[in-house]
Structure 1
Amino acid sequence: MVTPAPLTAGGRMPERYRSIIDVHVILERGTEILLLERQGTGYCDGMLHLPSGHLEEGEPVTVGAAREAREEVGIRIDPEDLRPATVVHHRQRPDLARVGLFFATDRWGGEPYNAEPHKCGKLLWCDPVVLPSNTIDYPAAGIRAYLAGTSITINGW
């Protein structure tokens, strides 16, 4: 017998847990990947991150990842050229968890440039095996999992 979920004090079913879905793009150029230096955002400014962002309502994950890459570094990616890299279930703080879907590609149109200078200081091509020390832990966990061939990893719990 299945026990029903307990009702709230008002007699309603409790709201289901929801998490923020992030999409990250690992742009591969030879043995390097592209990182962006955050600036003027109030979150981890001066630190490095992948092209990434939140999934929008009604948006398929690969379309969202391609959109974020276009918005942040000005390139065009066919969503079909994005390979699933890894998933990171990240706990940002005790009351906030995120699910990060990481995609990789070495195919895109255009040359990456800083398309959001109000949010980004510069772009850096880096060796993913030896990430700069100022890489944010969340994307670093995704990059490490991708390199190790790990399909899902837990970070910050």
Structure 2
Amino acid sequence: MNPHDDLRPAAAPASGTDPLTLVVGVHLVLTDADRVLLGRRRNTAYANGLWHLPAGHMERGEPVTRSMAREAEEELSLTIAEHDLALVHTLHHLDADDGRSRLQLFFRPTRYHGRLRNAEPHKCEELHWWPLDSLPDDTVPYTAHALTEITRGNTLSTVGWAA
């Protein structure tokens, strides 16, 4: 037996057992005392007009921490070192609109630099600080769910799956 046999890729899985490809979303949980920063989405294909955390998707070839730091810079003009991001919640979300499985990662920065501003007004109508215990009714549902779970100290939850 060759000692490197266990390092070779396994044979292709049988049809129907291919590994799942997940969409990975990254979300910034920026808080000030008992308030959280939300933006009202504008001109977007998903959740247009609803309140949502600053967020985006992981791009090919970048780790999730780089994705989050990049989104914070693009959307808020904030510089966050990757090692200053704490993962505070993971949400496995089955999207009812398109049936896709999504992994939503929620990060809280331990520190950041820069002056907070709406750097993408074409995608975000406004930014507003909301009390964590009184989010607007028109918050993206999975966002409201995740913030509730974070407030409760839960680090993992699922949404959209059959009970």
Of 100, 106, 111 in structure 2, the residue corresponding to residue 102 of structure 1 is 106
Partner amino acid for 2:152?
Answer: A
Q: Counterpart amino acid of 2:141?
A: D
CA distance in 2, matches of 1:42, 1:61: 23
1:7 alignment partner, one of 14, 27, 41: 14
Instruction: State the SS of the aligned residue for 1:16.
Output: coil
**Structure 2: which amino acid aligns with 1:23?**
V
| Runs of 5+ consecutive residues of structure 2 not aligned to the other structure | 1-10
TM (normalized to structure 1)? 0.87
Match of residue 50 from structure 2: 47
Q: Which residue is 2:67 aligned to?
A: 64
State whether structure 2 residue 45 is matched by structure 1 residue 38.
no
Q: 1:6 to 1:56 in 2, by over 3 A?
A: closer
CA distance in 1, matches of 2:36, 2:107: 12
What's the secondary structure of 2:59's corresponding residue? coil
Gaps in structure 1 of 5+ consecutive residues = none
Percent of counterpart pairs with the same letter?
Answer: 37
Q: Secondary structure at the match of 1:143?
A: helix
3-state SS of 1:62 partner: helix
Cα distance in 1, alignment partners of residues 143 and 86 from structure 2: 16
Alignment: residue pair count: 150
- Structure 1 window deviating more from structure 2 (107-116 vs 120-129): it is 107-116
TM-score normalised according to structure 2 size = 0.84
Q: Structure 1 residue runs of 4+, over 6 Å off?
A: none
Shift, 1:61, TM fit: 1.2
What's the CA shift for 1:59?
Answer: 1.1
